[in-house]
Structures are given as structure tokens and as C-alpha cells.
Amino acid sequence: MIYDRAVVRPHIRDPQSIINRETPMHTDGSYVQIVLGARALRGTIHTQINHKDQPQFVFRLDSRFEDKLPDFFVREGEFVECPRPSDAEVAAINALVRAAS
């Protein structure tokens, strides 16, 4: 990674330490919510790959939701980690989806 010296503060000796501290570490199977789009998709991320020096993950929708989607790739920043919803929350979301369709 290339650093612009004008951006790096002079009192920081190792710019890489800032990146390591600010970059979240997502583990295989982390429960996440997609933050893009009108719908809130919740599921797990798996299998990190690097595409053009950007980390990407395979997103798998939680199987408890009735709205089914195939696995797809998401980039860092397109999702946030969140707690796994309870079965009651999933049932309420599924009821709302059924009522809207």
C-alpha cells in the first residue's frame, strides 16, 4: 500500500499500525447485516478472497428467513457485524415479508 506523506501525521512512526488497528477482523462465520439496499439482509460471511487488493467475502443469507437468495460476494464496508436474531425476531420479519407480498 502506498502512503501519501502529507496525509500521515509526523508523530506516527508506523502508518501500518493505524491500518491494522482500524481494520476489523472478520472471522469465518461472523454474523453480519448488509447495509446496502432497501432490505436488511442478515447472514454469515465466509471465505475471504482478495480481488484487486480489496477483501471480499462470500455472504450466505440466514436459512431461517423465507426470502431466499443465492450466495454472493460482499466487500468490506458493505456489511456490519450484528447479533444473531432470535427465532421470534425471524418469525416476525418473515410475517412482515409475507404481509407485504
79: left (phi over 0), alpha (psi -120 to 50) or beta: beta
**Residue range 22-40, pLDDT digits in tens:** 445 666 788 999 876 556 7
**Residue range 52-67, pLDDT digits in tens:** 777 889 999 999 998 8
Residue 77 three-state SS = coil
Alpha helix (H) residue ranges in 1-101 = 15-22, 87-100
**Residue range 64-99, pLDDT digits in tens:** 998 888 999 888 888 888 899 999 999 998 898 888
Q: Let me know: does 22 contact 12? Beta carbons within 8 Å.
A: no
Does the domain formed by 25-100 have CATH 3.30.200? no
Domain boundaries along the sequence of the chain: 25-100
* Angstrom distance (rounded) from CA 25 to CA 55: 11
| pTM confidence score | 0.66
Distances (CA, A) of 93 to 10, 48, 51, 72: 50, 29, 34, 22
